Structure 1
């Protein structure tokens, strides 16, 4: 009896507790100055512009120049500074940091604490998200929950990647290497009391049985660690380069993209006709075009920039979101849908009323 009364009181308390809405108050992006074209890649490996564009839609990407001093965290900081300024707040207003990446400066600690140090933010919490291509979507979802409950007011969310230093730049690795680029994007998620605008819902999924279809095996505690690699000194060891079963990933991506977008729309009583702007993770232009056709969206309703930057994994959605907003393609009141699919497999979507 006492337990039942306690549970009833707890449920009433939850209903009475005010839930806030989170909104994106500022965005920023940064990409290295060094442009690497398909023609440049053809001088490193057996490939050409036609082959790359036909399979991926990519014309060029940005790669950090070796010795430049640029890292995943420094690029993230540059994007973050822009986002904070555009949010109309100062670094001292940031309550929490979430950093999504698969390419941290160190194996540990993660880059979240490096951002806290570099921006001289007070000793707030810093969380690192390792969900690869869907990392920024997962990070936004986590930030959204913190803000909804009233725990934090302004959360800095970053997606940043430095792929180029870890790619196999020979013909052996061309299937992966031609796809990836470097860059960073950031957003400030802020508390709002306008229930009609902001992040309406987020949706996250995973399917671990396909983990090795898109992966980087070594160094890892489970199979091959640094000592093993050094001891073998095998030039043919591919375990420390990214691997991707391209066709298999493509087939799964187009299905999961569609599913998770529809899940988000249905949760909010919306239809595909309500979408003003879809910003998919920039994995492959062919995937984006497939999803666009399936949802019956025009070119003005889908934003793609993979042609210029390649796949920047966790950075791709925030870079694209920032550019779409800068170009005036997103306006107040628009329904904006973010979606991503990648290694894990993990995938997710975010539904936003701008």
Structure 2
């Protein structure tokens, strides 16, 4: 059986920086309030009139990752695209990416697992490679949140958290079973689906109803989050799925060289860091600069950490995510 390893990484974020002070001009909030609850100082939001969309940003990140892998777009055998904010209700962003990068008519799979999207995407790509079906798989996480947020005081608990951006990784075949992805672990608990959700538009609340209502006060069009409930579940599931990955590979927390959690809330990351007794050099966070970019958050952080030289050959790297669904998962890899 083959193994898979990351051979190329890349990320892209919009140039437009939105600080907490900027948000205070749109809603009743302030820098201290946001930082105390989330750790976020600023985020990137796509400016009106920009060409950027989830698919476009994904393509920009993918070009960087493919070049760094020493490959061309013709070498990619399959696309996995994770996002909760696709350009269209359908089709998904994967086929747009295939066209934008002038690829062969390779398969394109879209993943709708929100904050766990990139972890799920890596797991899917890993299985395709390990079975010998594909040699090089492009995994993308990209989000255009800002266009769908309630930027009023009513929506501040959610809208201050999210940012726009994209990241990409090329996963390639290797015959060295000591390197690359060692294991992935995926879970879900759908009974909590409406604790973090956008209820409309949907097939149950479709275009005629939207046009008839034309009601800008309808909160169901904007993301809803039961923040306290999500936080409590996140810290439990993060811990469980990290331990699951370590135990599967006969490892301990002390073996971790770098842990990259989904950038949902700095307080969650700090809680997990303390629980596993990891020092600051063993954990990489960048939520303070980008906010929560959902499916893009882990791959942006992983790319940035690699660029900064924080990941070395043979390092044990652990990724973990928790989000809407609820879904959660982890990846254990040897660099």
- Give, in whole Å, the separation in 2 of the partners of 1:226 and 1:265: 47
SS state at 1:278 partner: strand
Match of 1:219 in 2: 201
Which runs of 5 or more structure 1 residues have no equivalent in the other structure?
A: 1-18
- 1:163 partnered with 2:145: yes
Match of 2:216 in 1: 235
How much has 1:255 moved relative to structure 2? 0.3
Measured against aligned partners, the alpha-carbon deviations of 1:149-170 in whole angstroms (never above 9, x if no partner) come to 0000000000000000100000
- Give, in whole Å, the separation in 2 of the partners of 1:168 and 1:195: 47
How much has 1:93 moved relative to structure 2? 0.5
Match of 1:333 in 2: 314
- 1:176 partnered with 2:128: no
Aligned pairs (5 A) from 1:98-177: 98-177=80-159
Aligned pairs (5 A) from 1:1-354: 19-222=1-204, 224-354=205-335
How much has 1:221 moved relative to structure 2? 1.1
- Give, in whole Å, the separation in 2 of the partners of 1:311 and 1:123: 33
SS state at 1:239 partner: helix
- Give, in whole Å, the separation in 1 of the partners of 2:224 and 2:270: 24
- Give, in whole Å, the separation in 1 of the partners of 2:40 and 2:11: 19
Q: List structure 1 segments (4+ residues) > 3 angstroms apart after TM superposition.
A: none
| Equivalent pairs, count | 335
Q: Give the number of the structure whose alpha-carbon radius of gyration is greater.
A: 1
Name the Cα RMSD after superposition: 0.5
- Give, in whole Å, the separation in 1 of the partners of 2:270 and 2:15: 28
Q: TM-score, normalization: structure 2?
A: 0.99
- Give, in whole Å, the separation in 2 of the partners of 1:317 and 1:43: 30
- Give, in whole Å, the separation in 1 of the partners of 2:155 and 2:197: 14
Measured against aligned partners, the alpha-carbon deviations of 1:235-288 in whole angstroms (never above 9, x if no partner) come to 321111000000000000000000000000000011111000000000000000
Which runs of 5 or more structure 2 residues have no equivalent in the other structure?
A: none
- Give, in whole Å, the separation in 1 of the partners of 2:213 and 2:301: 42
